[in-house]
Structure 1
Amino acid sequence: MKILVQISRIIVGALFIFSGFVKLVDPIGSQYKFQEYFSESVLNMEFLVPYALPFAVLLIIAEILLGVMILIGYKPKFTVWSLLILTVIFLFLTWYSAFYNKVTDCGCFGDAIKLTPWETFYKNVILIVLIMLLVIKVELIKPIFKGKIPKLITFLSLAAFLYIVQHVLTHLPIIDFRAYAVGKNLQEGMEYPEDGSIPPVHDFVLENSQQDLAPILLEKEKVMLIIVYNLQKADKNGFPAMKQIAEKATKNGYTVYGVSASFTDDLLAVTKEYNLPFEFLFCDETTLKTMIRANPGVMILNKGTVTQKKNWVDVDELELK
């Protein structure tokens, strides 16, 4: 029994750390997922939508920190019961998603691994069984270090996780698992897999009043896309920086366009207000949120390959050759 408890402890801890880490490096992705859960069509708890980001951050840090705590054996009773409560919440959400076909991707492993709601539900059922074993035999969970070392590791881990969250929210995800990551080619991403499933890059259109310019722009060597997925939610402090970087890029031979899902009249107004030297194209808001976790942000393309991405606070770091 002791060996079984230790194996369960390692599996549970490793799984929670992995699941928490892939979301820790991109908490905005989890924010979008919780906004989907809180929407009228799913849980109908729209009053929680404004709090989706802090809720996501809290849950992510709790998940990864509890994984660390169970591995090192810090406060085992508190840890195993917290793991159980957290997993029961996940179990309900994934069952609800699967049974009512509400959310096709639960986001439990961020964008790193895609699971169907039923696959995630059964994964959580197995987790519940392992955690229940830890609850029943909690006296067998001992700290792997003596003295105050487990406490020190826990608090240092918490500080590190909080720093990562702050860094990612200020800049961009440390690790990008999406189809629009630096180094990815968008044309290749648009190709349908052999199984006929939806390609990683879809709904990618860059429309002006007459046509979709995406096929043309994906063939060009120097393209800068200034992405403002939603003008009402954009950080207005970023527009002067967007103006400067667009002017610099144009001088260096880049084709520069803004891309947004906002209304044309609003885009014309902000263009006039900040004297922006580029035209806005239309693209689906969900696609833009997937392309870059910034509002506004900049993406550089070279014949369809993403070569650079920056939040507006870091546009001075762009290499425009």
Structure 2
Amino acid sequence: RKETLIKIIAELSRILLGVTFIFSGTVKAIDPEGTIIKMGDYFTVFGWGHAIWSDALLSFAMIAFEFMLGVCVLLGVHRRLSTLGILLFMAIMTPVTLYLALYNPVPDCGCFGDALIITNWQTFYKNIILSAAAIIAFIYCRRITPCYSNRAHSIVALFAFAFGVAFCYWNYSHLPMIDFRPYKVGANIPKLMEIPADAP
């Protein structure tokens, strides 16, 4: 009974982490320009020198890595390595989001792009939950059922990363496949700029 409960918790943690990371990576890849701008905001806040090209390279790599981690964890690919990757990712991002929540140097972290804008405190609470799930998934990674044989693991991981980079580049070179921004093509900009009568 205990082993069954542990497996259920590990599998639920795997699903939560996988779906969240895939969703986060996908919506960032849909609007990589927005991620590049947000990356520049972070560099400015922390006083790090940066250039547009380096922001773009780092953004593409981060988005593809995040997407790959989500795919690997969800499918049970390289279970120990992928859960460790997510655990380290959360170990870095959780303190960063606590700093953002306390001092509010940027209005939102951009973790879900423009698809889902949440406050810095909401982001921090979300990261606490994901960190707990990451710890469970890492400790009990052997309880996670893989969807592929070991020989296919590296192929799946490389394909996920390559797809993330290619999808980023396509959306960077064209208009976003799905535009989550308020002033998207076809929007009535004068109408959107009107102040509602009941606005404070």
What is the TM-score of this pair, normalised by structure 2?
0.89
Partner of 1:267: none
Shift of 1:60: 0.7
Structure 1 pair 55/196, CA: closer, same or farther in 2 (3 Å)? farther
- The one-letter amino acid paired with 2:30 is V
Runs of 4+ in 1 over 6 A off after TM superposition: none
Q: How many angstroms apart in 2 are the aligned matches of 1:82 and 1:195?
A: 47
Shift of 1:195: 8.0
- The one-letter amino acid paired with 1:158 is F
SS in 2 for 1:176: coil
Shift of 1:187: 2.6
1:89-108: per-residue Cα shift (whole Å, max 9, x none)? 22122111111121111100
1:123 and 2:123 are equivalent in the alignment: no
Q: What is the total number of aligned residue pairs between the two structures?
A: 194
Partner of 1:96: 99
1:178 and 2:173 are equivalent in the alignment: no
Shift of 1:16: 0.3
1:68-96: per-residue Cα shift (whole Å, max 9, x none)? 00011111111111101111222122111
1:169 and 2:179 are equivalent in the alignment: no
Structure 1 pair 139/25, CA: closer, same or farther in 2 (3 Å)? same
Shift of 1:153: 2.8
Q: How many angstroms apart in 1 are the aligned matches of 2:23 and 2:30?
A: 11
- The one-letter amino acid paired with 1:102 is P
1:8-32: per-residue Cα shift (whole Å, max 9, x none)? 1001100000011000111111110
Partner of 2:7: 2
Residue pair 1:72, 1:150 contacting (<8 A) in 2 also: no
Q: How many angstroms apart in 1 are the aligned matches of 2:130 and 2:197?
A: 33
Unaligned runs of 5+ in 2: 1-5
Structure 1 pair 44/139, CA: closer, same or farther in 2 (3 Å)? same
1:260-297: per-residue Cα shift (whole Å, max 9, x none)? xxxxxxxxxxxxxxxxxxxxxxxxxxxxxxxxxxxxxx
1:125-162: per-residue Cα shift (whole Å, max 9, x none)? 11000100111111212311235344333332223222
Q: How many angstroms apart in 2 are the aligned matches of 1:96 and 1:81?
A: 23
What is the TM-score of this pair, normalised by structure 1?
0.57
Partner of 1:79: 82
38, 48, 51: which one aligns with 2:50: 48
Shift of 1:192: 4.0
1:47-70: per-residue Cα shift (whole Å, max 9, x none)? 134421111111111111100000
Q: How many angstroms apart in 1 are the aligned matches of 2:151 and 2:198?
A: 53
Partner of 1:27: 32
Shifted more, 182-191 versus 117-126: the winner is 182-191
Larger proportion of strand: 1
Shift of 1:178: 0.3
Alignment of 1:8-23 (within 5 A): 8-23=13-28
Q: How many angstroms apart in 2 are the aligned matches of 1:187 and 1:93?
A: 37
1:196-249: per-residue Cα shift (whole Å, max 9, x none)? 48xxxxxxxxxxxxxxxxxxxxxxxxxxxxxxxxxxxxxxxxxxxxxxxxxxxx
Q: How many angstroms apart in 2 are the aligned matches of 1:53 and 1:188?
A: 33
Shift of 1:183: 2.8
**CA RMSD of superposed structures (Å):** 1.9
Shift of 1:112: 0.5
SS in 2 for 1:86: helix
Alignment of 1:254-293 (within 5 A): none
Structure 1 pair 120/193, CA: closer, same or farther in 2 (3 Å)? farther
SS in 2 for 1:115: coil
Work out the percentage of aligned pairs sharing the same amino acid. Answer: 37
Unaligned runs of 5+ in 1: 198-321
